[in-house]
Amino acid sequence: MMLDIRDLSVVFTDRGAPFAAVDRFSLQMDRGEIVGIVGESGSGKSMTAHALMGLIRRSEVEVSGSAVFEGTDLLSLSREELRRYQGRDLSIIFQEPMTSLNPTMRVGAQVEESLRIHERLSRGERKARALEAMALAGLPEPEAVYRQWPHQLSGGMRQRAMIASALVLRPRLLIADEPTTALDVTIQAQILETLKDINRREGVAILFISHDLGVVRALCGRVVVMRQGKIVESGPVDSVFYHPREDYTKLLISSRPSRKKLRGGREDG
């Protein structure tokens, strides 16, 4: 087992009253597995990911439970200790590439950034690794894109640049936090195919967070359904989506305009 999360809770205090954004979340993942987390906005999906990545200020919230990654409990580490895992072993792709990329830095420099922090490489070695990651992320003509500015790229290419940045240190777990939400359907499908290819070729495990059941159905083998910080239901994708046990899961499925997308383009029946 690569990741073992037990009773992860993230509790804020609002005007003296505690509020659990994540309430006793548990999940186990094997190497190379793709697991989805779905739920409405505010269900705790992204907060779970941010807690795993150490992106929550512990001084402002209480984070409890455990998240054992290959033998090390990430939640027990100091911020300095956790930095050794961020990027190198665990990477995250955020939802909005327009704001995630620095407009004042060329694309190649941003893809290389984590290499400058974590690796002792020459400038040429960093560039070679960056170009390799950009090609893996599906960017056409990586050498040309390397020299470009973010505003010169389309939305889909910006997201691919973010994927390249997440992959450049060859992490074992990639957390994708709503990475296709801002993209049109055609580009969305291309990004999903890129993530599948990365999973097949590199063996990278992916924790994929989305509110879109069709996208999760197309990519993931297992799914966790969250509501108000709690896990409502979990299991194999087909089992949960086509034979849901819980009323909330049924409501999520029925709220979609068409169940056709849940089968990756195949009609029901």
103 backbone dihedrals φ, ψ, rounded to 5°: -70, -15
Cβ-count burial 91-111 (b if 16+ within 10 Å, e if not): bbbbbbbeebbeeeebbbbbb
* Spans of all domains in the chain: 32-55+86-256
CB 229 within 8 A of CB 20: yes
The owner of tokens 């992959």 is 167
Which amino acid, one-letter code, is at 259? R
Helix (H, G, I), strand (E, B) or coil at 180: coil
| C-alpha of 217 from chain center | 15
Q: Nearest Cα to 58, choosing from 11, 3, 19?
A: 11
Q: What is the pTM of this model?
A: 0.89
pLDDT tens for 41-100 read: 899 999 999 999 988 877 778 999 999 999 999 999 988 899 888 888 999 998 776 677
219 backbone dihedrals φ, ψ, rounded to 5°: -115, -40
Class of domain 32-55+86-256: alpha beta
CB 17 within 8 A of CB 67: no
DSSP 77-143: S-HHHHHTTBTTTEEEE-S-HHHHS-TTS-HHHHHHHHHHHH----HHHHHHHHHHHHHHTT-SSHH
Q: What tokens does 116 get?
A: 């400058």
pLDDT tens for 120-164 read: 999 999 999 999 999 999 999 999 999 999 999 998 999 899 999
**Average pLDDT across the chain, whole number:** 90
Query: Percentage of the chain with pLDDT > 90?
Result: 70
- Asked if the model's pLDDT at residue 268 lies above 70, the reply is no
pLDDT tens for 160-211 read: 999 999 999 999 999 999 888 778 888 888 989 999 999 999 999 999 999 8
- Per-residue confidence (pLDDT) for residue 261, from 0 to 100: 45
**How many DSSP H helices and E strands does the chain contain?**
11, 10
- Asked if the model's pLDDT at residue 37 lies above 90, the reply is yes
Ramachandran area for residue 75 (φ above 0: left; ψ -120 to 50: alpha; else beta): alpha
- Per-residue confidence (pLDDT) for residue 15, from 0 to 100: 77
- Per-residue confidence (pLDDT) for residue 161, from 0 to 100: 94
pLDDT tens for 257-267 read: 544 444 444 43
Sequence-distant (≥ 6) Cβ neighbours of residue 125 within 8 angstroms? none
